[in-house]
Amino acid sequence: MRFNIDFVSKRKWWYALSLLVIIVGLIAMTIQHPPLNFGIDFTGGNILQVKFHQEVNTEQVRGVLEDIKMGNSSIQESDNNQFIIRTVELDENQVNNVISNLRSKLGDLDVERNDKVGATIGHELTVKGIKAMLIAWVLMVIYITIRFEFLSGIAAIIALIHDILITLGFFAIFRWEIDSTFVAALLTIIGYSINDTIVIFDRIRENFKQRNKETVEETVNRSINQTLVRSLNTSLTTAAALLALMLLGGETTRIFALAMLIGVISGTYSSIFIASPLWVDFRNMARNRRRQSVSGKSRVRNAH
C-alpha cells in the first residue's frame, strides 16, 4: 500500500495539537498537589500480603479496611484467596491491628509478606529515574549525531521529551497512581520511540542520496510515507499486546502496561508528525543563518 500524505506542510498543526495536550497536562500538574498520584514506592507505605484459609472476596477485605479508616488502600486479589494490600506507612502496632481485624471479621489467615517502603527510597528512585533518562538522551544524541547529524539528534530528543510529557500529562489529568514500574515504562518508551524515529531518519538519508529535483520537504514526505505502514503495523501489534496485558495481567502490571500504551501511541505520533518536521525546520533555520552570515560578510567586503 502506497501513501502520498503531505505531513511536512501541515507541521504547525501537529505542533499545535501536541502543545495543547502537553499544556493541559502541565496545568493539571501545576494546580494539583501532589502533581502526580504517587504510589507507596514514592511516598512510602506498607505492602501486606495475606492468605485466607477460606474463600474471601475483595469487597469483604475493603469493608474491613474501611472500618479502620484505611479504605483508600490498594487491594489486589491473587490466586488461592491471597490478597496484596498496599497502605500508607504503618508502624508495627498498626500492622497488627489490620491483621487482627481481618482475622476476626473474615477468618483465619497467614501473613505471607509484610514489607515497608520508606519515602527515602521513593526519592532515591525518582532521582535515579531522572538520571537514567538524562543519560539515555545524551547517549542518543551522540549516537544519532554520529549516524546522521546533530540536528537529527536534537529533533529526536525533543520528540522523546514530547512522549514523556504526554505520558506524564495523562497520568496527572486522570490521577492514575504511579509506582516503580512507571519509571521502567518511561525508559522503555524512550527506547521504543527512538527506534521508530531512527527508521524514518534512515529512510530520509537514503532518499537524500537519490533525490533529483525534490525539495527537502518532498523528500521527507516521501520517506515518511514509505515507512508509514511499517510504523503503524509495529505500533498496532505492540498496542494489542499491551492492551491484553493491561486488562488481563493483574494489578502489578497494569500501570506499566497503561503507561506503555500511551507512550507507544505518542511515540508513533511523534516519530511521524514531530521529529522529521522538526528536523526540516532546524535545517531551514541553519541554512538561513548561513546565508545571512555569508551575505553579511559580502556586505563588509564591499564596504571596504
Give the span between the Cα atoms of 41 and 162, in whole angstroms: 25
| Residues 65, 153 share a domain | no
| Predicted pLDDT of residue 121 | 57
The CA–CA distances, whole Å, from 141 to 145, 167, 191, 231 equal 6, 22, 13, 22
pLDDT above 70 for 22: yes
Which of 64, 88, 117 is the last residue before a domain boundary? 117
| Predicted pLDDT of residue 18 | 96
Residue 160 in domain: yes
| Residues 161, 183 share a domain | yes
Q: Where does the pLDDT of residue 274 fall: very low under 50, low under 70, confident under 90, or very high at 90 and above?
A: very high
Q: What is the CATH number of the domain that holds 110?
A: 3.30.70.3400
CB-based contact 217:277 (threshold 8 Å)? no
| Predicted pLDDT of residue 301 | 63
| Predicted pLDDT of residue 294 | 67
Q: Please, what is the average pLDDT of the chain?
A: 87
Give yes or no for a cis peptide into 277 (omega within 30° of 0): no
Q: Among residues 112, 105, 114, which one has the least CA distance to residue 59? A: 105
Residue 304 in domain: no
| Residues 202, 92 share a domain | no
Give the span between the Cα atoms of 88 and 150, in whole angstroms: 47
pLDDT above 90 for 86: no
| Residues 85, 182 share a domain | no
pLDDT above 70 for 300: no
The CA–CA distances, whole Å, from 95 to 40, 84, 163, 164, 292 equal 16, 14, 40, 37, 71
Q: What is the CATH number of the domain that holds 216?
A: 1.20.1640.10
| Residues 207, 154 share a domain | yes
Q: Where does the pLDDT of residue 26 fall: very low under 50, low under 70, confident under 90, or very high at 90 and above?
A: very high
| Predicted pLDDT of residue 166 | 96
Q: What is the mean predicted confidence (pLDDT) over 3-26?
A: 93
| Residues 138, 172 share a domain | yes
- Overall pTM > 0.75: yes
Q: How many CB atoms lie within 10 A of CB 33?
A: 6
Query: For residue 298, how far is the Cα from the chain centroid?
Result: 49
Which of 100, 117, 134 is the last residue before a domain boundary? 117
| Residues 126, 60 share a domain | no
Express each pLDDT in 38-84 by its tens digit.
Answer: 877 777 788 889 999 888 888 899 899 988 888 777 787 877 888 98
pLDDT above 90 for 177: no
Scan for cell 514531530, then name that residue.
274
Residue 138 in domain: yes
| Predicted pLDDT of residue 266 | 95
Q: Give me the domain span that covers residue 80.
A: 45-117
| Residues 192, 51 share a domain | no
Residue 199 in domain: yes
Express each pLDDT in 188-232 by its tens digit.
Answer: 998 888 988 999 999 999 998 887 788 899 999 999 999 999 999
The CA–CA distances, whole Å, from 109 to 50, 52, 80, 112 equal 6, 4, 12, 9
Q: What is the mean predicted confidence (pLDDT) over 284-291?
A: 86
| Predicted pLDDT of residue 133 | 82
**Number of folded domains in the chain?**
2
Residue 168 in domain: yes
| Residues 233, 87 share a domain | no
Give the span between the Cα atoms of 7 and 276, in whole angstroms: 9
